[in-house]
Amino acid sequence: MKVLLGITGGIAAYKSCEVLRRLTDHGHEVQVVMTDAAQRFVTPMTFEVLSGRPVATSLWETADASIEHIQLARWPDVIAVAPATANTLGRFAHGLADDLLSTVVLASRASVPVVLAPAMNTAMWENPAVRANLDTLAGWERFHIVEPVEKTLACGETGQGALALEADIIAAIEAAHASAD
């Protein structure tokens, strides 16, 4: 299976390294797309080494940027975003495409499942705007949500918001792919 792994900016971005490793251990080919904010937490080089593929980071970094997002959108069998920040969920729910990842998701075919593994502070997770965006996405057949878990978060608070376990994210990706066939 070909998985496009989107990584957005949050402290949980470092956990995406293990998601990538598990995907490749399961024999899946992985292409990583990172937002600018994600690169503040983990460098693209880390994911390039783990995936064996160049990491895509910008709409504007190639000589032919006008079509890179379309090529990336046509490549995967499944798109997974782990972690998915509140900002990214809002972009997806409202069809906004102002960075490479949101453009790829918007340009991907409706038959390509998108697995979202949100991670954020509990107050953000419980915010009515975030809940509404999640409800919108969950109402669309192609989006699959892997809810965050409850634990002590980076801020020291305890509550739901930590990135789901890597095994649960992988299981959701494989299930989404199986249901799309």
What are the backbone dihedrals phi and psi of residue 25, each rounded to the nearest 5 degrees, phi first?
Answer: -60, -30
DSSP string, 52-99: SSPPB--TTSSTTHHHHHHHHHHS-SEEEEEEE-HHHHHHHHTT---S
Question: Do 120 and 86 touch, CB atoms closer than 8 A?
Answer: yes
DSSP 8: -
155 has catalytic annotation: yes
Question: Do 137 and 93 touch, CB atoms closer than 8 A?
Answer: yes
Cα–Cα distance measured from residue 136 to residue 161, given in angstroms and rounded to the nearest whole number = 19
Cα–Cα distance measured from residue 28 to residue 109, given in angstroms and rounded to the nearest whole number = 20
Question: Do 164 and 147 touch, CB atoms closer than 8 A?
Answer: yes
Cα–Cα distance measured from residue 162 to residue 144, given in angstroms and rounded to the nearest whole number = 17
Q: Among the options 65, 70, 138, 155, which is catalytic?
A: 155
Q: Which residues are catalytic?
A: 155
